[in-house]
Structure 1
Amino acid sequence: MLKHKIIIILSLVFVVFMTVLFILYLIKDDSSRWMVALGGILVSALPISLLFVKHNPFNIPIIIGFYVFVFCTTFLGSIANFYVDFKWWDSTLHFYKGIFIGFVGIALYKFFIPQGARKDISSWIIFLFVLSLSVTSTVLWEIYEFAGDLTFTQTMQRGGNKDTMYDMIFGLTGGLLISIYSSVQKNHDNLQR
C-alpha cells in the first residue's frame, strides 16, 4: 500500500536525519540542539504506529504535511534558528498548524462517522469540531512552549505574553479557515443529494 511505503520512507529518513543531528550536537555539547534532535527522533517515528492500525484515517497529504511540520519546527525552527532569525516564522507555523489540524479533524470526522449518518449531522457540528480541535492543539502547543522554557530552553516564548497571543491568534485563524471550508463543503454535499 502506498500510504505504508510513504510512512516507512519518511519516518526512516527523518529518524536517520535527526539521529545524525542528535549525535553531532551531543558531541559538540550543544544541549539545546541535541534535545530538540532527540525529540525530532521520537516525533518522526510516531507515524509508524499507523502501520499497526487496521484502517489508517489519514491520507497521503496529511502524512506528508505532518513531516513538513516536524521539519519546519524541529530542524528549521529550533536547530537552524529560524525562530530567532525570522520573527514571522513562529506565527506562520502556528497558522500552518491550525490548518493542518483542521484537516486532521476532517479526516477523523470522516473516519468515525459512517457515510450514511453524515447527512443528518449539522454543518455547525463539523465547524465546531474542526475549530475546537485546532484551538486545542494551539493551546497544547503553547503549554509545551511554556514548559520547555521553564525546563530546557528560554527561546520558545521570547516575546512572552505577546508571543503567546500572536501564536494563538494565528493558530485560531488557520483553524477557522478550515472550519469554514468544512462547513461549506458539508452544505455543498447536502445540496448535491
Structure 2
Amino acid sequence: MTGKQILMLVGDFVEDYEVMVPFQALQMVGHTVQAVCPHKKAGETVRTAVHDFEGDQTYSEKPGHNFTLNASFEAIDPSAFHALVVPGGRAPEYIRLEDRVLEIVRHFATHDKPIAAICHGLQVLTAAGAIEGKRCTAYPACGPEVERAGGIYVSTPVDRAVVDGNLVTAPAWPAHPAWLAEFLKVLGTRIEHGKMARV
C-alpha cells in the first residue's frame, strides 16, 4: 500500500477525540496526515475540547489536551494532498469564516477527492458549498445547515457513518470505528488480517 497525503483542518477547541484519534489512526496504517490551523504554524498548538453525551439535551464540554500542529497553514498547497479530514468541536464555527479554508475545501470537492467530516465539521463543508446534492450526516444540531446548503441530511445513530461517493460523514466521535473504516475504503487502503501466532 502506498500511503496517501491527508490534510486535516483544525482550530482551537476542536473536539479532542475527533482530532487525536483520526490523526493517529490514519498514520498508523501508513498515511501521512498534516494538521493545520489558520494563523498558526507547525509546532504551535491548538486547545481541544471534550464533548460528551451524558443525558443532557445537548453535549457537555470539558477542557481537553493541547494538540500540536505538524504543518503551517500558510504553506499548504491543497493540490499536494489526496484527501481532507475536518473534525468537529467548536473550531468549525469560526474557521469557516476564513476564505482560504473555504478555498481549500472547494478544491477537494471540485476534484472529487475523498473528504471526511465529523460532527460539527460539516459546518465548514456547508459554508464552502461542498455538499449540494450529497447524502451526509452531522451532529443533529447541524442538520438544518446541511439542508440549507443543499445537502441531504441523514439522521443516523451516533455510532454510524454515511458514505456518498468520496464523502464520508459521521455524527460524532462514537462513530470512529465506522467512519474510519469507510474512509479507508474510499482511500483505497486495504488492511489484511492474518492469523495471530500463539505464544
TM-score using structure 1 length: 0.26
Greater helix percent: which structure? 1
Computing the radius of gyration from Cα coordinates, the structure with the larger value is 1
Normalising by structure 2, report the TM-score.
0.26
Higher relative CO (Cα under 8 Å, sequence separation at least 6) belongs to 1
